[in-house]
Amino acid sequence: MWTLDKTTFENESAFQMTLYLARTMLEDKLITEKEYRDFKKEIIKRYEPFFGDLYT
């Protein structure tokens, strides 16, 4: 069984919300595919998600 400490949980939550907003911007054509991919790489580095990169 995995357990998440507070920091890991907060990073995961922030990552998921940020990625959701970026996907929405992509769907609304506010950003390009390349901008989305580049942004996703940056937020993975920043938040170091526990599960996040498995679902994206």
Write down the pLDDT at residue 48.
Answer: 85
Distance CA 44, CA 53 (A): 7
| Residue 48 near residue 11, CB atoms below 8 Å | yes
Write down the pLDDT at residue 52.
Answer: 58
Angstrom CA distances, 16 to 31, 53, stand at 18, 10
Write down the pLDDT at residue 1.
Answer: 55
Sign of CA dihedral 51, 8, 48, 13: positive
Listed residue (24, 14, 23, 21) closest to 46, CA to CA: 14
Question: CA angle, corner 45, sides to 14 and 31, nearest 5?
Answer: 70
Write down the pLDDT at residue 20.
Answer: 95
Write down the pLDDT at residue 4.
Answer: 74
Q: Model pTM?
A: 0.78
pLDDT in tens, 1-56: 567 789 988 999 999 999 999 999 999 999 999 999 999 999 999 988 876 555 55
